[in-house]
Chain A
Amino acid sequence: MSNAMNKAYFAQGQDMDHLRPPEGCRPGVDCESWIIRGARVLDPASGLDTITDVFIDKAGIVGVGQAPAGFATDNVLDAAGLWLIPGVIDSWARLREPGQEHKATVESEARAATASGITTVCVPPDTDPVIDTPAVVRLIKRRAQLAGGARVMSIGALTQDLAGKRLAEMVDLKEAGCVAVTNILRPVESLAIMRRALEYAATFGILVIVQPQDPSLAHKGCAHEGAVASRLGLPGIPVAAETAAMAQVLALVEETGARVHFANLSSASAVRLLERAIDDGLPVTGGVSAHQLFLSEMDTDAFDPNTHVIPPLRTLRDRDALREGVASGAISVIHSDHQPHEGDAKAAPFPEAEPGISTLETLLPLTLRLVEDGVLPLHDALQRVTSGPAQLLGLKAGGIAAGLRADLCLFDPEAAWTLDADSMLSRGRNTPFHGWDFNGQVTHSWVAGRLVFRRAGQP
């Protein structure tokens, strides 16, 4: 990419993006102005919790409580009885495009996301081709713009083709809009290469996301190595696969000062390692997928292929430790780890079914269920899926205040519903939460000031 092109692209990059109206926006036509009246406005970033009006114009929030001078619009929504919360930022979700469009597409998933209150989705780089060049970043961004649902951000590859041998062009990727880099679960050839990768990322202030799992310890495992897997004869993945990988990276963080986010944690021991590293002042954070906070090895008991997920569902003790980590703030982010699959991928015996759960539509419901379960207060729960990830990824969203991007959703706390896998909006219906009852449902979502989702029957 030439320097001039680089600059041109950078001008549209994430830094400027948040206040720029969507491309080709004609005021009053494409970019909308809104008054959301009388909702209970919940902003975990500022601690705001009050019933007031919110004003939206030119893709941004222009006023909370008080309209800016001369503000007028016909779009007035009476939101009495509803909650207005920042749009959810999902920092780890597969949309399967490019490369696996038979599983899902950016369009199908970006639309499913907004119906569940998710306004920003970050995709890991294991697409085909891998997100290791700006071209793929742009392709995904364009697809998302065409889809007109949630904003989609890329997470770049740490190494070229995720092969673990040569560094990817991280700066180029960052300038193209990548929020971080990662090698996902793919092995990095040596600790020496991992160290250089962290050093290089640290030089340019690039966040590295690590999903800790030692490949040789995980081997061909498909379930938590414990009592249930032993009984069912399922090859196990020991907790040490997670902690050994994490400890290695922590040693390198201590040396390089790189900013590292551990995604998809699964064990009590990993939470302990994370807490200790944070206490030691290392620049590390942790994330967990929502399903890990509700399921355990017990749920694999009937060989349900929908519970085959990596990292595996571990013991109830691990689940409780993860919940405590979320409550204390050591785990600052809850993500979906969304992995939609076509039916065939799960139509196989447990070990041979492809791992992963379709979780976009349960991220916010499960996070709010933590409040019902008394794990943490409402503001803290919302924080883990809004301002928490926004802060982690350097996004100017995830809050409700004048000057922020108008990524918002309205939520009806009284709407009770039952999850029916067959009527999920995601292309992937692979969920073990079929039949679960939830309280509260998203009714409207705005992305950059545009109403992108309105539940049927809502004004």
Chain B
Amino acid sequence: MAVVFVRPKIPKLAPDPWAIQFDGEGRLKHLLTIEGLGPDWITRILDTAESFLSVTGREVKKVPLLRGRTVVNLFFESSTRTRTTFELAAKRLSADVLNLNISTSAATKGESLLDTLRNIEAMQADMFVVRHAASGAAHFIARHVAPHVSVLNAGDGRHAHPTQALLDVFTIRKMKGDFTPLRVAIVGDILHSRVARSQIHALNTLNTGEVRVIAPRTLLPAQVEKLGVRVFHDMREGLRDVDVIIMLRLQRERMEGALLPSEDEFFCLYGLTPEKLAWAKPDAIVMHPGPANRGVEIDSEVADGPQSVILQQVSNGIAVRMAVMSLCMGGREE
């Protein structure tokens, strides 16, 4: 089926900004953000992922759910890890996969995002997996694609990275079970992190006991507490009685905007070392969305230590993405 892009003169917006994620019958069609999913949908995605985990363990790792469908990975921002896990997930569902890395140079040549989308019209896609540097890009694409195309947000600017957040809560659920008694601390560059925003929404939707953020004020967005988190600037206080520690990647360019004096000072204050880890609960788990900057936000001893679940996150990522893909494409006639 050809992808036809409709371009209304004036985009008419739904009254609920997140309603666009569902079709007329309330089925999940796009995954753009965690907001608006509610606990039922998140639980359904996690349960579906659980059933796919066994597929991943089999010798023949394929199920035929998306046979004959085409998934296009549309990456406007470079990424190897995320793209690879989406690609693997699609292939294990027997879909055909097309990877398009659209460098920023194409955009600077004057080609608009809509032009780019029109150019892949001919490629007959059923699903776009999109990563883009602008917040809201996934919504924009979802608003402009033909009605039969699903859009999965693989990261848009600082806004959202819903599949990463889902695989994180999946990992937490496997390790800890119930969310209500848990204290979860997210540490580092919250300001620029789409991962953190999606994690906060996911954890709060699942009724997590307490979600904390730990960072200097320069790395926190304005009124971050309104996202439903408790704010700490000190690691010792922030990590006390915590069950889950999520470390965020610190981009090196943050030094230039005068957000931090140096990597050394950041590591000294917020880098997760065995000493700081000891301030959390003894059975606390350590997570990182990757790729980790060892020696900047996390010490190798912790990243490779017994409390780290970083590698489990990666393999859970495939099952969670399979779940999201099959649910978004489910309930439609062949």
Q: B residues near A, CB below 8 A?
A: 7, 9-14, 17, 112-114, 132, 134-137, 139-140, 144, 156-160, 194, 197, 221-224, 226-227
A interface list, Cβ under 8 A from B? 225-227, 229-236, 238, 301-305, 343-344, 347-352, 421-422, 429, 434
Can you list the 10 inter-chain pairs with the closest CB atoms, starting with the nearest? A233-B158, A302-B17, A233-B159, A230-B221, A303-B136, A349-B134, A349-B137, A350-B136, A233-B135, A227-B226
Q: Determine which of A230, A304, A351 lies in contact with B223 in the assembled complex, contact meaning CB atoms within 8 Å.
A: A230
Least distance between B93 CB and chain A CB atoms (Å)? 28
Complex Cα–Cα for A321 and B179 (A) = 42
- The reply to whether A232 and B159 contact each other, CB–CB distance below 8 Å, is yes
Report whether B156 and A349 are in contact in the complex, using a CB–CB cutoff of 8 Å.
yes
Name the residue on A nearest B196 (C-beta): A233
Do residues A225 and B222 form an inter-chain contact, with CB atoms below 8 A?
Answer: yes
Which A-chain residue is minimally distant from B135 (CB atoms)?
Answer: A233
Is B157 touching A348 in the complex (CB atoms < 8 A)? no
Which chain A positions have C-beta within 8 A of B157?
Answer: 233-234, 349, 351
Contact of A422 among B10, B112, B134, B139 (CB under 8 A): B10
Contact of A429 among B9, B14, B222 (CB under 8 A): B9
A227-B222 CB under 8 A given contacts A302-B14, A303-B17: yes
- Chain B residues with CB under 8 A of A233: 135, 156-160, 194, 197
Q: A226-B222, A349-B156, A351-B157 are in contact. Are A234 and B136 (CB under 8 A)?
A: yes
With A and B bound together, what is the CA distance between A434 and B13 in angstroms? Answer: 10
Please tell me if the beta carbons of A301 and B136 are within 8 angstroms of each other in the complex.
no
Query: In the assembly, what is the distance between CA of A383 and CA of B135, in Å?
Result: 41
Contacts A302-B17, A434-B10 hold; do A232 and B226 have CB atoms under 8 A apart?
A: no
- How far is B9's CA from A429's CA once the two chains are assembled, in angstroms? 9
A347 to B197, CA, bound (A): 25
Inter-chain contacts of B139 with A (CB < 8 A):
302-303, 349
Whether the pair A349, B113 counts as a contact (CB closer than 8 A) is yes
Q: List 14 A-B contacts (CB under 8 A).
A: A227-B222, A229-B221, A230-B223, A230-B227, A231-B226, A234-B136, A234-B158, A234-B159, A236-B221, A303-B17, A304-B11, A344-B114, A348-B113, A350-B140
Least distance between A340 CB and chain B CB atoms (Å): 14
**Distance between Cα atoms of A307 and B203 in the complex (Å):** 30
Check B223 against A227 for contact (C-beta < 8 Å). yes
Residue ID in chain B nearest A431 by CB atoms: B10
Cβ distance B141 to chain A, nearest Cβ, rounded Å: 8
Q: Please tell me if the beta carbons of A231 and B136 are within 8 angstroms of each other in the complex.
A: no
Whether A230 lies near B136 (C-beta < 8 A) is no
Is the beta-carbon distance between A230 and B224 smaller than 8 angstroms? yes
Quote the shortest CB–CB distance from A435 to chain B (angstroms): 8
Q: How many Å lie between the Cα of A251 and that of B14 in the bound state?
A: 47
Query: Do B10 and A429 touch across chains, with their CB atoms under 8 A apart?
Result: yes
Complex Cα–Cα for A232 and B157 (A): 9
Contact yes or no, B158 A349, CB < 8 A = no
A3 to B9 CA separation, bound complex (whole angstroms):
51
Q: Are B197 and A303 in contact (CB under 8 A)?
A: no
A208 vs B134: C-alpha distance in the bound complex, in angstroms? 36
Sample of 5 more A-B contacts, CB < 8 Å, known A232-B159, A304-B11: A232-B136, A348-B140, A349-B136, A351-B136, A421-B9
CB distance from A217 to the nearest CB of B (A): 12
CB distance from B7 to the nearest CB of A (A): 7
Task: Give the complex CA separation of A422 and B12 in angstroms.
Answer: 11
Q: Considering the chains assembled together, what is the distance between the CA atoms of A302 and B7 in angstroms? A: 18
Q: Which residues of B contact A301 (CB under 8 A)?
A: 17
B135 x A232 contact (CB < 8 A) = yes
In the complex formed, the residue of A with least CB distance to B114 is A347
Contacts of A305 in B (CB 8 A): 11, 140
In the bound complex, how far is the Cα of B287 from the Cα of A387, in angstroms? 64
Taking the nearest CB of chain A, how far is it from the CB of B152, in angstroms? 16
What CA separation (Å) do A350 and B158 show in the bound complex?
12
Residues of B within 8 Å of A352, CB to CB, are 113, 134
**CB neighbours of B9 from chain A (8 A):** 343, 421-422, 429
Q: Bound complex: CA of A395 vs CA of B221, how far in Å?
A: 46
Q: How far is the CA of A348 from the CA of B143 in the complex (A)?
A: 11
Bound CA–CA A338/B13 (angstroms):
22
Shortest Cβ gap from B71 to chain A (Å): 22
Find chain B residues with CB under 8 A from A422 CB.
Answer: 9-10
Which A residue sits closest to B19, measured CB to CB? A302
B residues in contact with A344, CB < 8 Å:
112, 114
A residues near B159, Cβ cutoff 8 Å: 232-234
Contact call B222/A229, Cβ cutoff below 8 A: yes
B132 contacts across to A, CB distance below 8 A: 349
Report Cα–Cα, A432/B13, bound state, in Å: 10
- Nearest CB in chain A to that of B107: its residue: A352
Q: Which B residues touch A226, using CB under 8 A?
A: 222-223
